[in-house]
Each structure stands twice: as structure tokens, then as C-alpha cells.
Structure 1
Amino acid sequence: MPDPGDPTTELGIHTFTTKHTIPTAGGAAVDILAAAAPTAVSTWTCSGCGETGADSLVAALLSAGGHASQCGRGTVPTRLTEAVAAVGAELKRVDSKASTLLTLAGAALTVVLAMISRTSLPAVAGVAGWVCVALIGLGIALLASAVRPSFNGDHGFIRYADADDADDVLARLTSDPADPAAAQREHAQQLHWLSRAVRTKYRRVRLAVDLLVAGVGAAALTVALATML
């Protein structure tokens, strides 16, 4: 006899269910109770928004997957996560640019120093050459400051690097905000710090590029004066 109080029985036959979980775009999850019998009803529930659904197995899987791909998209937590990832990628990009420019500037400085070390170089050309050295040197200093590691902020590995021991690390982990609003605020602080770091790096790289371009002009002037005089 089927048990009216047991939703897992249908016409006296026990229908087993399996549970599946699909992560949502907003960081929650859709839990699916998939019935083994094709004619039985499968259900799903979203832990993020509370929406539920019930249908045949295939239809329930399709609707649950569609809901998971959209639920939470565009919300503040999702946008914060996407923004932090984008800024983190930009941070790697500016570091790569600065490192490449630093290598090129170092090579250019070596060439210019070799050129102005010639004893036969006219005085005017020598002055232009030393101006070139100064410009490139300042550019190198700015690029070096751009790639210099910063240990400001209180997130990521920095949060645990100052711990006294493993117990302190565990204590800091357990003290992380469990409240969604507090966690969201901490995420926003991380985004703010990363954004400021990227902006500072780009400003230094931009100024360094201006100095290097001026240095190239001074180098060209040095060569021209050395040729004419």
C-alpha cells in the first residue's frame, strides 16, 4: 500500500531520488531532487532566492539549469566578485607592461652610456647625452617603483602573513565575517585597495613612458650633434 505521507512512493512503488547541486551566478546553489522514475516528479529549490520548481526529470533539470545561470546575476556580490577579478587581471597587465619597459629602458641606458663615454664626443653633444641619461634614469626609477611589491591592505596572503603561528591563522580564519553584509563590505574594501594600486601603477608607467620618449629625443639629438660637430 502506498503511504500518503511518503512523497517517495507512487502507486505503491518506491521511487528513489538523487540530489544534484548547480551553483548559481550569484554564488548560491540550486538543489535538485531528481526522481529515478521517468513519470515521477523531480523538484528543485534555489538557496539564493528561494524559488522552487517541479516537473518531469528532464524538464526540471532544464529549468533548474536556466534558473542557476541567471539567479544573482547583476547583484552587488556578483558585481563585486567580477570587479575584483577584472582589477586583479589589470594589475597583472600593468606589472607586465612595466617589466617589459624596464628591460628596454635598461638596454637603452647601456647604449647611451657607451656612446657618451667616447672621449672625442663634442661638449654640446656630451651635455645632450647626459640629459638623455638623466631622463632614462628617472624613467627606470618610476618603472621600478611601479613593479615594487606593496604590502598595504589587509586581505589575501597579507592577512595571514602577520600571524604569529598556525593557531593565529586559524583564529583569523574563524573571525572572517560570516554576515553577508560584513563580507560584502570587506570585499568592497579589497576592490577599493586594488583599484587604487592599479591607478598608482599606471600613473607611474605613463610618466615613465613620457620620460623615456624625451630620452629617446635627447639621444637622437646627441647623435646629430656628434655627427655635425
Structure 2
Amino acid sequence: MSATDRNLTAAHAEVKAEIARTDTKTALLLAFVGAVLAGTWTVVRDMPLTVPVIVAGGLGLALLVAAAGLLLRSARPNLSGRHGFPLWATLTAEEIGTAVSSDLAADIAGLSRLAVAKFTCLRRAVDLTMTGGALLVLAALLAVGGVA
């Protein structure tokens, strides 16, 4: 195996590992956001709420729901791609061997684009989660402080 082939194989393994890392982070963050949403509902459903608490809390919850949407988008499988198993599903056994041996660089490029899209959704979801969480903390402080 030549140095170029080894480098391509290593790059291919690296990008697949990054996709797996993104999927793991997405699942953990989605569980966290779901727990925050459920916990917030449990805490506030029996509380008397003022307008400032409703506004801050409502905005925080809206941002958390938006974050959950981005996380679901990130986790959604891309079955229309022209690389990896979606491509292989359209090929014969002989064509798969040819495609894998000759198009590793193209597969790396396609999977890298997929990884960047997943990381972009994940990053935006983290930003929305932090902002939504800060608004929920503000709402809690307003509720405890009794600001009318």
C-alpha cells in the first residue's frame, strides 16, 4: 500500500469518526434539552406566573424547542448522498468494488461535507441551548424575586 493510499484510508477513517462523534454529541444534547423542557414544565405548571416570567421563560422554551429541531435535523440520515452505503445500495457487487477502490477521495470529500453540516447544526443547537437556558434562569430569578 502506497503512502497516498494509507493517507486516504486514514483520512476516511478520521471523517467517519468525526461523524460518529457528532451523532453521539447530538444524542446527548437532545436528551439534555428534552430533560430541561420536561423539568421546566413540571416546575412551572402549578406556579402563578407574572408577565416578565412568562416572556423570559417563553422565549427560553422557544429557543430550546428550536435547538431540538436543529438536533433532530443533524441526526436525520442523509439517504440521498452519492457516497457510502446510500451509493452502494444502487450498485451491483462488482460496481461496489470498483467504486470503493477508485473513489476513496470522493467519498472522503462527500463525508466531510456531511460532517461539516452536522457540526454546524450541532453548534447552532448548543448556542440556542445556552441562550435558552440563560433565559430560563432569568425567568426563575424573576419568579423568585417576585418582579411584577
What TM-score does the superposition give when structure 2 sets the normalisation length? 0.88
Q: Which residue of 2 aligns with 1:217?
A: 134
| Residue 125 of structure 2 corresponds to residue 197 of structure 1 | no
Q: Which residue of 2 aligns with 1:66?
A: none
Q: Which residue of 1 aligns with 2:69?
A: 141
C-alpha deviation, 1:189, in angstroms: 1.0
The structure in which a higher percent of residues are helix is 2
1:113 and 1:133 in contact (8 A); partners too: no
Cα 1:205–1:95 shift into 2, 3 Å: same
How many Å separate the matches in 2 of 1:159 and 1:203? 24
| Residue 93 of structure 2 corresponds to residue 173 of structure 1 | yes
Q: Flag the structure with larger Rg.
A: 1
Identity %: 30
Aligned residues: CA RMSD: 2.1
How many Å separate the matches in 2 of 1:214 and 1:143? 15
C-alpha deviation, 1:81, in angstroms: 1.0
| Residue 46 of structure 2 corresponds to residue 126 of structure 1 | no
**2:20 maps to which of 81, 85, 92:** 92
- CA displacement 1:68-87 (0-9 Å, x = unmatched): xxxx2xx2222111100111
C-alpha deviation, 1:119, in angstroms: 4.9
2:88 and 2:96 in contact (8 A); partners too: no
Where structure 1 has 5 or more consecutive residues not aligned to the other structure, the ranges are 1-25, 27-71, 163-168
Q: Which residue of 2 aligns with 1:83?
A: 11
C-alpha deviation, 1:155, in angstroms: 3.7
Aligned pair count reads 146
1:116 and 1:126 in contact (8 A); partners too: no
C-alpha deviation, 1:159, in angstroms: 2.9
Where structure 2 has 5 or more consecutive residues not aligned to the other structure, the ranges are none
1:116 and 1:129 in contact (8 A); partners too: no
Q: Which residue of 1 aligns with 2:79?
A: 151
What TM-score does the superposition give when structure 1 sets the normalisation length? 0.59
The structure in which a higher percent of residues are strand is 1
SS in 2 for 1:149: coil
Higher relative contact order (CA 8 A, sep 6+): 2
